[in-house]
Chains A and B, each alone.
Chain A
Amino acid sequence: MSLAERHIPDRLHPPLRRALLRWESLLLLVAAAIFAANAMASPYFLNAWNLSDATFNFTEKAMVAFAMALLIIAGEIDLSVAAIIALASTAMGAAAQAGVGTPGLVAIGLAVGLACGAFNGLLVTRLGLPSIVVTIGTMSLFRGISYIVLGDQAYGGYPAGFAFFGQGYVFWVISFELALFAVLALAFGVLLHATTFGRAVYAIGNNATGALFAGIRVARVKFVLFLLTGLMSGVAAVCLTSRLGSTRPSIAVGWELEIVTMVVLGGVSILGGSGTIPGVVIAAFVMGLVTFGLGLLNVPGIVMSIVIGALLIAVIALPRLWAMRRRA
């Protein structure tokens, strides 16, 4: 062996090849295919306003999905997000009855979300409980409170200005929700991919013990992630309540699974450690396009969930099958 200094290159593959090999590229193809199929199947699809309406299918869920993606990458999960939305919406409804104005309502919605996230985070990081168990518990707890408060009643009577968050448009066909979705996608993308916090999230998800031994404040990072997820549930609660104009205790029921589906479809490993925000953004579009396209064709809701389930399994299983075939 010569004494010449060994040189280790920084990277093995050029950037273009790394980009093409990514999961997100495959997902983008799927999204394009669905878009094309929709355009051919229904004459109403390629209409700016129809497409704009379609985005409401996913914007609120996607806001929560961004935070959930970080949480799942860090090896935790929050199944109470839909219940947080219900509780936050109930709190806003009660406040609206008491005559609180729009800024106050938004503050209440966000504060309830943060408080619920803090509660989950404390149970997980302080007591060391598994997050899946904790949040299944708080899922019943939070929604239970909504049911106790509301029973079979509904809150309505939100102030007129409050409708903007779910029904307003910032420019032409761009709704407030769509704009917020874009801003949040960018913010979470930067947070996960370009900051030290994001790097810590990946390290924890890959090996929490190793991350601790590398001097990362694991409990603090996880707590912040639960806070963020709670906060984003609060944001989604504001948008959804505003769009519906009323609150029932069954609001957003079952969303936690749709949100987790969106995250996993976006290429985030359910075991933690890998995944990207661009992946989740594309997955949000895929899910939105599929439900909207099927809706235009008058396909019943139950069939839609079958299609989404099949899509999830197919997209997850195909790369695995491909890898197995290549190894064989």
Chain B
Amino acid sequence: MLMQTQTEMAPRPAAEARPVLALSGVSKSFPGVRALSGVSLRLYPGQVTALVGENGAGKSTLVKILTGIYRPDAGEILLDGRPVRFPTAHAAGRAGVTAIHQETVLFDELTVAENIFLGHAPRGRFGLIDTGAMQREAARILRGIGAEIDPAQRLKDLGIASKHLVAIARALSIDARVVIMDEPTAALSHKEIDELFELVAALKAQGKAILFISHKFDEIFRIADRYSVFRDGELVGEGLIAEVTEAELVRLMVGRDVSRIFPARARNIGAEVLRIRGLEHPTEFSGIDFGLCRGEILGFYGLVGAGRSEVMQAIFGITRPSAGTVEVEGRPVRIRAPADAVAEGIVYVPEDRGQQGAITALPIFQNVTLPSLGRLSRRGFLRLAEEFRLAREYTRRLDLRAASLDTEVGNLSGGNQQKVVIARWLATRPKVIILDEPTKGIDIGSKAAVHAFMAELAAEGLAVIMVSSEIPEVLGMSDRVIVMREGRMVAELSGAQMTPETLVRHAAGIGGGEAA
């Protein structure tokens, strides 16, 4: 069962050691989604294991299980070969597992020393915190990792790189044996990344087991010793980095089976309805230029944080871009609020259904009619019969499952909530519909229904933008794909160029994918 191939492979000092932490058969489900099914993972002392996978492959769920935030439905966690449980984050910390997150969970208002020793501060008389000892100890640890940070400083005054160092110092202070680094370089500059990697090397030398999660292949090949690849909540490959190529990792990540059935579509692309020119935002994105035609489905692919949703929300009027124009049917339009976008026939189905999509405490029919009330009312007075008629028509079209139209939307499943939001926007008879991760977190059946429906809408002449992080969905549904990375459009692909490998290469910025 174990692949003991590494024994004589490389001159790795601790290669034949037993794993510090091992997971086997771990599964975790959420309503409607299976996040992890029967995965295993082994972390060895003095080695860096890279965890690779697409968005939604189950990496974050795994980290949350390891740090005691989620409890697995099945499977076991072995620490030094003994089964353990992490019912709370505190228990995981006590067992020596610590995580440095993308947005590191530290406390801005506390000092550096307090952050490092939160929960295990040295105590003096009467059980009070011995501030002096805490400061001295913090200074010693920080010196040890070459960080010139004053332990008495408040954390909010530090930059992101220094905050990472504080997080690492915290990991050292609790004598962590397993350090999880979840995209630690996402917000760092090149120089800071180099410094971080020196630290990782130091941690390795101290015999810590490190789980390194990153989308950046150059980093993985630079510091990792081993890899584990997750896809759709399953472990699909593992081994030594020295024995694998970039291309093989990409193939494992995406899978060869882009064969899920997507509806066949008669491509009937008409005149251009939407043209975006030079759209720019001071922090989120720049240089966004694209056009969209009637009957077309345009896919937007990229890693989480590439700026896709931000671009769409700017087009929809949630945020104000600092430059650029939006044209609808050749006419420049001014969109300063979502209400303006809706009036121009541009509608947006957000990714965050609970907060931004449906108003869950209101009944279905009111959710559906909300943006159409101007048309349904007479001089501002509601006409309930008209409202029910419209809600009936569109919920039927989307094959909604519900007890009645005055049921609160919050009582519906995720897939049906999504249908309510889509019904709401179709009822406004839009020209352009933007779907942000339309099938995220909904069950397979509803997924297929949403896909079929999207195809039907395009066939009727609606222009569709689909933001998606699921490669099969992007490739299966889109006529054209724009790939974004770090707030910029890095590629526009169509026809034969649309392959899983090219998407991943452009999105991750791997060599050869730089043409834009």
Query: Is A93 an interface residue when CB atoms closer than 8 A count as contact?
Result: no
Within 8 A of A (CB), among B30-81: none
Task: For A211, list chain B residues within 8 Å (CB).
Answer: 359, 370
Query: Is A43 an interface residue when CB atoms closer than 8 A count as contact?
Result: no
B402 touches A8 (CB 8 A): yes
Query: Is A273 an interface residue when CB atoms closer than 8 A count as contact?
Result: yes
Give the distance in Å from the alpha carbon of A195 to the alpha carbon of B318 in the complex: 25
Question: Known: A199-B366, A199-B373, A213-B318. Contact between A11 and B406, CB under 8 A?
Answer: yes
Query: Is A215 an interface residue when CB atoms closer than 8 A count as contact?
Result: yes
Chain A residue nearest to B385 in the complex (CB): A10
Chain B residue nearest to A193 in the complex (CB): B382
Give the distance in Å from the alpha carbon of A10 to the alpha carbon of B406 in the complex: 6
Give the distance in Å from the alpha carbon of A217 to the alpha carbon of B338 in the complex: 8
A196 touches B374 (CB 8 A): yes
Query: Is A51 an interface residue when CB atoms closer than 8 A count as contact?
Result: no
Q: Tell me the smallest distance from the CB of B116 to a CB of chain A, in Å.
A: 34
Per the CB 8 Å criterion, the residue count for chain A at the interface is 29
Give the distance in Å from the alpha carbon of A196 to the alpha carbon of B371 in the complex: 10
Q: Tell me the smallest distance from the CB of A98 to a CB of chain B, in Å.
A: 40
Q: Tell me the smallest distance from the CB of B342 to a CB of chain A, in Å.
A: 4
A8 touches B359 (CB 8 A): no
Within 8 A of A (CB), among B386-410: 388, 392, 395-396, 399-407
Query: Is B339 an interface residue when CB atoms closer than 8 A count as contact?
Result: yes
Query: Is B301 an interface residue when CB atoms closer than 8 A count as contact?
Result: no
Query: Is B213 an interface residue when CB atoms closer than 8 A count as contact?
Result: no
Per the CB 8 Å criterion, the residue count for chain B at the interface is 43
Q: Tell me the smallest distance from the CB of A231 to a CB of chain B, in Å.
A: 18
Task: For A237, list chain B residues within 8 Å (CB).
Answer: none
Q: Render A173-199 as a binary contact track against B, CB cut-off 8 A, 1 for contact.
A: 000000000000000000000111111
Task: For A216, list chain B residues within 8 Å (CB).
Answer: 338-339, 370-371
A10 touches B404 (CB 8 A): yes
Q: Tell me the smallest distance from the CB of A82 to a CB of chain B, in Å.
A: 31
B338 touches A213 (CB 8 A): yes
Give the distance in Å from the alpha carbon of A198 to the alpha carbon of B401 in the complex: 28
Query: Is A246 an interface residue when CB atoms closer than 8 A count as contact?
Result: no
Task: For B91, list chain A residues within 8 Å (CB).
Answer: none
B359 touches A12 (CB 8 A): no
Question: Known: A199-B370, A214-B338. Contact between A194 and B406, CB under 8 A?
Answer: no
Question: Known: A8-B395, A194-B382. Contact between A214 and B388, CB under 8 A?
Answer: no
A6 touches B405 (CB 8 A): no
Task: For B403, list chain A residues within 8 Å (CB).
Answer: 8-9, 12
**Residue ranges of B at the interface with A (Cβ–Cβ < 8 Å):** 316, 318, 337-339, 341-342, 347-348, 350, 355-362, 365-367, 370-371, 373-374, 377, 380-382, 388, 392, 395-396, 399-407, 424
Which 3 pairs between the two chains have the least Cβ-Cβ distance? Answer: A215-B342, A12-B404, A215-B371
Q: Besides A212-B318, A216-B370, 12 other CB < 8 A contacts?
A: A6-B396, A8-B392, A10-B404, A11-B405, A196-B382, A202-B362, A213-B316, A214-B371, A215-B338, A215-B339, A216-B338, A217-B339
